[in-house]
A and B are shown apart, each in its own frame.
Chain A
């Protein structure tokens, strides 16, 4: 499976929080992305997950929802 760099990185981040309860995990992932990612990467992630996010970590998808929510 070949994933894009941002999706791979998002999955790596999610793995670190897998031992958290899902809601806390999603919040931590979203917070990390907000703090350390260039917004370009963030929007790439959103696009790519939307297009091809079937295998994506569910906590990443939850994190994206959180990121979208704060932007609004």
Chain B
């Protein structure tokens, strides 16, 4: 029997993977071939989706992008035997995109059947949890600290230190919360992991819980990810049946269970304290810090809040040791990061590699430059609140501190590319508009400031008292940066100020016109 893989990932499905799968089953039956169809996660080469893989003696060979219409012909031309075709890609693992990665978080994503416990175990799953349970909780934390793992949600706070705080805070009741409210445009790695290897996230949470002394975990998932919800829900059920979760995790006596909670569609609930409010059943509003969630978190109890990728990195760290993980990366950015290439890019997708690779390599070498073929004018890293980097400054190494020094932000590793037709004043305006749209409304600089920001940029674009309003916009940006309660308002000036400093000409086009009229 031939095993064929058609991703079940929602990115693949959005370009017809389900139809391809149906067509394959029909075509194989018509051809009298018995196939085992596995709906795997995505390999992250989104430009190749739907990417069909066929297991051959030499390894898994790929075809893509495959449309349902192509299937009959592909089967006829011997795809099920791994024969050549226009869409034939060769061995998937040997594609440069795959070969050059160091896939730790994504090790199983696209490889395994996401909900098969056997697949999970067969590909190294649970090795981390098993080892953790043999260690003292404090030693688990030491291992994570040694690995240098930093929060992948954007802030880059050392996970080991956070866990240590939770573990050392007095309290019977503690929680582990996974922030899966992946709301930034151009980011999708969390979703890929949840759809493609949900057990890995559960394992990471179980390790965290064991380390800090929690018995209950919550995954806060955005409502826009129904497929991820289905996968996580099923994975939790299976994990309970398998004894990976529950009263006696892997027979160790340690008790831990996970609940899935779906968000209500507010961007701000991706901010950890808002997320906690929302998990508590309240309206998601930012809480001041201190107190930090590690001390006063969910329902006021000590709580680990980590992003999906952070937690999904933990099983590898425990399985292979913190030292091995720390051997990857540069400076204080250790291990791997899942970079997500999006926007105007020829080859979009997820690329996991050790920190230190330059932005230019990611955008040009792997991403293939812009999809439009025009020059790259700007790149925005770290989500809609990340600063814009001009196309000329992409030789920056991906390192938290190096980015900081360049007034940029590595954040969660989302990279959005713009070509030279982009209007950067409009992009700056969009940043303020986005903030106005998504502000929780609690603090004044964000609630009122973002609205005034849009209005002020409009005045600048219209050439009304350009210099005065540029000064005002600058003051407003300072106020939002310094005065906002959370990163939402605090980071909004990033894209605005970077657009102003790198692309001032986009803001002042009408100045002369206006001055002319005034005369």
Find out whether A and B make contact in their complex, taking CB atoms under 8 A apart as touching: no
Binding site for A on B (CB under 8 A): none
